[in-house]
Structure 1
Amino acid sequence: MEFSPQGRLLLERRYLLPGERPHDLFSRVADAVGGPARSREFFSLVSSLLFLPNSPTLMNAGTASGQLSACFVLPVEDTLEEIFASLAHMALIHRSGGGTGFSFSRLRPRGDVVNGAVGAASGPVSFMRVFDAATEAVRQGGRRRGANMGVLAASHPDIEEFVTCKQAGGFPNFNISVGIDERFLRCLEKGAEYDLINPRDGSVSRSIDARSLWRLIAASARISGEPGVLFLDVEPWLPARSASG
């Protein structure tokens, strides 16, 4: 299989181990993934480029790392210890070539009380900056920048700050999405007020016009391409749920 100069350069920078040629890369991956029974078949597929596995598999198959997964979802709980535990796990995953996704919806909003501390909470967007900076410092597999997905529920009191956080070019290592629910869609349809809920205690922090928030999401997406939208209440419509009864 012949590669263009650009293709060969990409292979050398990201996927080839020291001393490897493209043929060696495909053999390494085929032996590790296909096993004795199917390595020849797998080699034929990847060497002809009819099929290619994800980047971590190309990087790590047949090595001591053995990390072949591309995407991980990590919890972010509302304590300093658990936030930074997730940050440490993120760094290790990025180092092995994986990408990470987070919901920051459980973090208490900016200005909220902090037990046992003087001052106020800094909010999820502030902690996202810490995750973004750490990602900048850790290269995925030592060869490429890490990649993150950040989600915040539309009902979070800091939702406007989250929606607009990428307008000025911030958070280069994050894609962001707003998590909307059935309640938001009903309020949007009716032009009604939508309650924002403090995740710390479940109390209503304030209410906003659902259509105003929707317009803010659309305007921000037009400026920066983000946020996207995730429908959090999709489970009742999942085919797998119906099939399993």
Structure 2
Amino acid sequence: MTMKADGPATNARKIDRWDGGFGWIAYPEEEMQRASHALATDEGVWLIDPVDTSDLDDWLDEFGEVAGVVALLGRHTRDAAEVANRYEVPVYLPEPLSSARRELDAPVEVFDGTLPGTGYRTVTLLDTPVWTEVALYDDESGTLVVPESVGTAEFFRAPGERLGVHPARRLVPPTPLRGFVPERILVGHGEGITEDAPAALRTALSGARRNTPKLYAKSLRNYLPL
């Protein structure tokens, strides 16, 4: 199993299906388990941090027109430009990520506060020269979208965790996520959390530092040759 796959994504897996959208993992065989999401709103469908796949056109048929593509992590923009150009829509960047427009060969719109025409508001999780990340939260549906700080892919989770804090953020967990009581948590790596999501989030944040040695030990066992 490769850490990060490339080439045509012809075996994508649909995940996180709910009334307000769905997600997909373009390369189910990769260890990073990069996940993308389609959020259905009155304005149309918003594609969040997309990794492109040949299945996407068919999957979007029931949800209507694409309103825009959203990138939530400054460190990489995945296939945001390519997907936006195909659907003839802009890439939307939260204001803290406005400098990422230099990386995008596509029309760009910068927004602040709320994704235009929707109930999804931005939550800045980190804003540094090396890591800028913004989450989205919709109060009505209780949907929390976190691109990187927490995830469910194997390399995020210490033993016993359903949701884990990113290995690089364990010692300084994403405190802006405290206090949220989401119905579901959609993540950028792995399948989302749809059952007892508030407890999974609380446990991930409160145990981030304490469980760090267990996570690192697991990683050594899994990735280093014996």
Would you call these one fold, judging by a TM-score over 0.5?
no
TM class by shorter chain equals under 0.3
More strand by share: 2
Relative to the length of structure 2, the TM-score reads 0.26
More helix by share: 1
